[in-house]
Amino acid sequence: MNTDQISAVVIRGVIPVLLGLYISLLAFRVIGRKPGENQKWDEWRRRYGWLLKVCGAAGVLSGLFLMAQVLFFAPNPGPKPSGAWARAYTDDRRFSAEFPEPPQRDTETVQTVEFHTLTLPVNARNNTFTLDYSDLPEHLRGVDDEGVLDATRDAVLEFGGQPGKGSKLVREEKHSGPGPPGRFLLISTGRFTQWMKVFIVGGRSYRAIAVTPRNPQDEADGQRFVDSVRFEEADK
């Protein structure tokens, strides 16, 4: 294994696993505030604690998957130019975005929530592009769309960074154009930038996420990815 592969394993695999384990310990209250110590925290966990369990399990699974990919399947090409972007659609054909390379399609169930995902890790550049959707859990069906979007933002900010690195909200914008309620989030976490669009449509949460190193070329790719997001019926 060369130096680049070792770095890729650590950055793209070990860190998500450690973060997932940390979030899982918080979710099951092995660490952190105990019941009764903080009423506001207890109320938040009662309503949105499922997000911690989902994020924790997703972090561990994605980290293990990325480590296996780097160790056993990833070639060692040089960086590819951003010039051959192509649109890809979610399984329900309602949500799409442009990817610089064909993404991998997957479906997995985490804490009874089924996630339909398109993921593209660009190992040579430390970029990750993700497009996914999932049905809202039953206990969130009565929460208004803005409340669900607020909870998603808060969970990403508190638990979506690298261990020991706080996440900072750089910019937040409500979706103002035609279409479903949504948010754009630009988040700084460690030496990475996270670009995220979240929408609530018919009891489902749709997400487009790009994670890029903090340099002009990769951040331009992150911006391009989220700017390409749209809702439409794909050509059959």
Give pLDDT, residue 235.
44
Dist CA 99 CA 118 (whole Å): 10
Give pLDDT, residue 96.
93
**Per-residue pLDDT reduced to its tens digit, 121-153:** 876 677 899 999 988 877 667 788 888 888 888
Q: Burial, 21: exposed, middle or buried (Cβ in 10 Å; 0-12, 13-18, 19+)?
A: middle
HEC sequence for the chain = CCHHHHHHHHHHHHHHHHHHHHHHHHHCCCCCCCCCCCHHHHHHHHHHHHHHHHHHHHHHHHHHHHHHHHHHHCCCCCCCCCCCCEEEECCCCCEEEEECCCCEEEEEEECCEEEEEEEEEECCCCEEEEEEEEECCHHHCCCCHHHHHHHHHHHHHHHCCCCCCCEEEEEEEECCCCCCCEEEEEEEECCEEEEEEEEEECCEEEEEEEEEECCHHHHHHHHHHHHCCEECCCCC
Q: Which residues of the chain have pLDDT under 50?
A: 1-2, 75-82, 163-164, 234-236
Instruction: Name the token pair of 226.
Output: 């989220």
Give pLDDT, residue 25.
67
Give pLDDT, residue 79.
46
What domains sit in the chain, N to C, each tagged with a CATH number? 3-231 (3.40.1000.10)
